[in-house]
Structure 1
Amino acid sequence: MNFSLWLESLSMALGALKSNLLRTLLSLLGVTIGIFAIIGVLTFVDALEKGIKGSLSFLGESVIYVQKMPWIFASDYPWWKYINRPDPSMEEFRFLEKNLTYAEAVSVFAIRGGFTAKYKKNSLSGLTVQGITFQHNIVSDIPIEYGRYFTQIEVDRAVEVVILGNTVAKDLFGDENVESAIDKIIKLKGKKFRIIGILKKQGDNLLDAPSNDNITIMPYYTLAKMIPEGKTGIQPSISIKGFENDKDLQNVEGEITGLLRIKRGLRPKEEENFALNRPEQFAVFLDGVIGVLTVAGWIIGSFSIVVGGFGIANIMFVSVKERTSLIGVQKALGAKRAFILWQFLLEAILLCIIGGIGGLILVSLLSFFSSDTFVISLSVSNMILGVSVATVIGVGAGIIPAILAAILDPVEAMRSV
């Protein structure tokens, strides 16, 4: 069938839909609801995934954390063995820093809460302080908006300098005087600290995870002078960033394991008494949750789409019956089977596409329920998927009625009432 006949089939299909507007609208509902259910869930899952990954961005990428406890506990492992493990030490940090060959950067950090910061008459209590070594800005993102990062000398000599989170700086100096906080002196636990940097505002996140906005960063050795290491003091964690070309960080993870076993004097048959934690552990769990939600969305939406597809197929059978005599006239005037087939098939496809677009419009309205931490937006890929599913349903619902119309005998068709 040439292009002009195809356009004529499309024109006749549109005319048939307009002539039975109420029936057309009613037959769209099943497809509209089905597409809304499927694409709505997929859009919700996309927003959830972005929100959770944004919340966990502080953990960094391609990073392994050497710690006492694993982030995900093994159900068959005695809990008291975790408790009795030794904490990572600065000696182990220096050993790894010297001997690791597959690491881009190695750092130590420790976090301690309960600080109070004072500047003149302003004070801020319940402050979280993080102590870090020099390469921590390579391992983890530390975005400086004003000022600068620590120097190697400041870290090694435990100089009393700090980088303030954006919210901390605003609380102490006011919204309009954040930049002027650089080189000002604040007090933490009675000690004077010079402000050398202000972090960029990060904003809230979906999981209410630790935020750069509410933290104060100082050199690790400076924090260790104020609060010594130990069970009642700070407990350091070692963070190691692997190279991007190290697939799944297999090389650096194996090297860390081997070096730590040597450093801790573990025999070949002894189990490891340390945990290597990776952000990917959360990603695996997240993928499982997202997979369940996605399957649930497809199942729920499929029921609606199947019902809508049967409804449209029924409408198409009725349409063929109503226009049987017209089909006979068209065939008598020389219309070919392909012309008749496309006339009805395009009608079914158009019905489903219009219904699908209606479902996508409903999904786009969900954006009004977005928040700063949970942004709902209809992606182009989900729009294409919605229209594609609707088209497939249209072909499935219309192909049999269209074939039946195309093979009608013209004489018998014109005799029908």
Structure 2
Amino acid sequence: MIYLRLVAESFRFAWQALRANMLRTFLSLLGVTIGIFAIISVFTLVDSLERNVRDSMSFIGDKVIYVQKWPWAFGGNYPWWKYFQRPEPSMREFRQLERRITMSNGVAIFADKGDNTFKHRNNSYSEANLMGVTFDYNKVSEIPIVQGRYFVPQEVEAARNVMLIGDEVATTLYPQTDPIGQELKVAGQKFTVIGVIEKQGENMFGMPNFDQMGIVPYGSFAKMFDVGPDGLGSTIAAKGREDDPGLLELEYEVRGLMRNIRGLRPRDEDSFALNRPEMATQAIGSFFEVVGLAGWVIGGFAILVGGFGIANIMFVSVKERTNIIGIQKSLGAKNYFILFQFLFESVFLSLLGGGIGILLVFLLTLIPQDIMAVGLSLGNIILGLGVSAVIGMLSGIIPAVLASNLDPVIAIRSK
């Protein structure tokens, strides 16, 4: 009970001090407010950017290893001349890998070509991406079907002219018609629509997704376009198992099998690249770490100024209330009571400034965005309030100790 009374009295003293010097309090809180606003706004933008970028890249799959000619690279020098003579993954290699692999939940080969025009009667959709896949592609990359169905094995093996289309393609070509069972023409070939993929929506950087895509059996794609050493390249993808969290076993197996299939000797370098989505997310994470550090530096200077402002308020407050402190101590108030009273006031001031900064960030998140959804997370709110509380304690500890150690007789005589 005594602690509740202590908190209540400390809150009352802090509120009276705020009301007595509104302008001074406002100017002192401004630094903390700006500092917390800078830090939390940067962190909120970084979190939102990272989340949206990762969502935009979700179409490449999760827990997947890609066998390709070219390795992925993110910044720095790229020695393209080392990879130029490498062969593209082939259907023959895919068949052997599919037959011999044991650490995978699914293996698929696919190839794609951009800038296609899909036509249905008088309607057309240009700059579409067309992809040819084998049956297990839906195990490698999730394909949410909202209308119709996915391929059956017989359609893929027989290279039938059937197609899955994205939401944007379906809306453009069949605005008032059920697209299932309708015909679609691309590159002079007629295809029957058997499924519509769920709407993905606009993403960061205009990265491709299923909305602007058509997916056909790999054999059908190969009949339309030149796929091979002198034509379009293919990619083999292997989906990892849940009991292989780091995909290390899958990576070792795929590397060993591909080297064996291509007849590489022990000292020969790999003639293929094993690419993983984690490589992209790690590069993204490194970039956002730098941005986050910049937010800490920018906000740190503002918080430092705010901390000095709060410390100044507390020193002035101790000087103005020295007589009251003496009276309190003469009536039996303990040192810890005086210490807690001023420390609480300092933390309260800092939390108030930090709370205003967080509120400003929250108001910014309410501004509607078409491409990137910005949201203030609970973690960032706790971080902002935590930093504010620490700044308040550091700013108020010295004035609070000085106030608690005042001699009651000398303090009462002061004016």
**Normalised by the shorter chain, which TM-score bucket?**
over 0.9
Q: Quickly say closer, same or farther: Cα 1:76–1:339, change in 2 above 3 A.
A: closer
The Cα of 1:78 is off from its aligned counterpart by: 4.6
- Specify the alignment match of 1:150 in structure 2: 151
After superposition, the Cα gap between the structure-2 partners of 1:158 and 1:270, relative to the gap in structure 1 and judged at 3 Å, is same
Q: For residue 284 of structure 1, what is the amino acid of its counterpart?
A: Q
Secondary structure, aligned partner of 2:119: strand
Q: Percent identity?
A: 50
Q: Which residues of 2 match residues 89-168 of structure 1 at below 5 A?
A: 89-168=90-169
Match of 2:353 in 1: 355
State the Cα distance separating 1:44 from its structure 2 match. 0.8
Shift of 1:194: 0.9
Cα displacement (A) at 1:122: 1.8
Q: Once superposed, what is the RMSD of the aligned Cα atoms? A: 1.6
Distance 1:121 1:288, change over 3 A: same
With over 3 angstroms needed to count, the CA separation of the structure-2 counterparts of 1:110 and 1:152, relative to structure 1, is same
Q: How does 1:18-417 map to 2 (within 5 A)?
A: 18-72=19-73, 78-174=79-175, 176-177=176-177, 180-417=178-415
> Does the 8 Å CA contact 2:323/2:413 hold for their aligned counterparts?
yes
Assess if the C-alpha contact under 8 Å between 1:166 and 1:201 holds in 2: yes
Structure 2 CA distance for aligned equivalents of residues 276 and 263 of structure 1: 15
- For the Cα contact (< 8 Å) 1:229–1:236, is it kept in 2? yes
Secondary structure of the 1:207 match is helix
Q: Structure 1's 82 and 370: CA in aligned 2 closer, same or farther, altered over 3 A?
A: farther
Q: 1:62 to 1:79 in 2, by over 3 A?
A: same
Name the aligned partner's letter for residue 382 of structure 1.
N
In 2, Cα distance between equivalents of 1:322 and 1:74: 59
Deviations 1:187-230 (A, max 9, x none): 22232211100111111111211111100110001111122323
| 2:87/2:229 contact within 8 Å kept | no
8 A Cα contact 2:339 2:400, kept in partner: yes
- Cα distance change on mapping 1:296 and 1:75 into 2, 3 Å: closer
Contact residue 331 and residue 410 of structure 1 kept, 8 A: yes
Tell me the amino acid that sits aligned with residue 45 of structure 1. V
Give the 3-state SS of the residue equivalent to 1:181 in structure 2: coil
Distance 1:364 1:253, change over 3 A: same
Secondary structure of the equivalent of 1:414?
helix
Cα pair 1:224 1:234 within 8 Å, conserved: no
Q: Deviation per CA, 1:266-324, whole angstroms, max 9, x where unpaired?
A: 10001111001111111111111111111111111111111111111011001100111
How many aligned positions are there?
Answer: 414
How far does residue 71 in structure 1 lie from its aligned partner after superposition? 1.1
Q: What CA deviation, in whole Å up to 9, does each residue of 1:92-141 have, x standing for no partner?
A: 10111011110110001100124322212222233221000000001001
**8 Å contact from structure 1 (residues 6, 339) kept in 2:** no
Cα distance change of structure 1 residues 393 and 67 upon mapping to structure 2, 3 Å threshold:
same
TM-score by length of 2: 0.96
Q: What is the distance in 2 between the residues matched to 1:244 and 1:364?
A: 38
Tell me if the contact between 2:349 and 2:392 (Cα under 8 Å) persists in the aligned partners: yes
Structure 2 unpaired stretches of 5+: none
Instruction: Look up the equivalent residue of 2:411 and give its one-letter code.
Output: A
Please, which moves more after superposition, 379-388 or 326-335? 326-335
Report the residue type matching 2:35 in the other structure. Answer: G
Aligned-partner Cα distance in 2 for 1:327–1:79: 75
- Which letter maps to 1:277? N
**1:372-393 residue CA offsets vs partner (Å, 9 max, x unmatched):** 3211111111101111110111
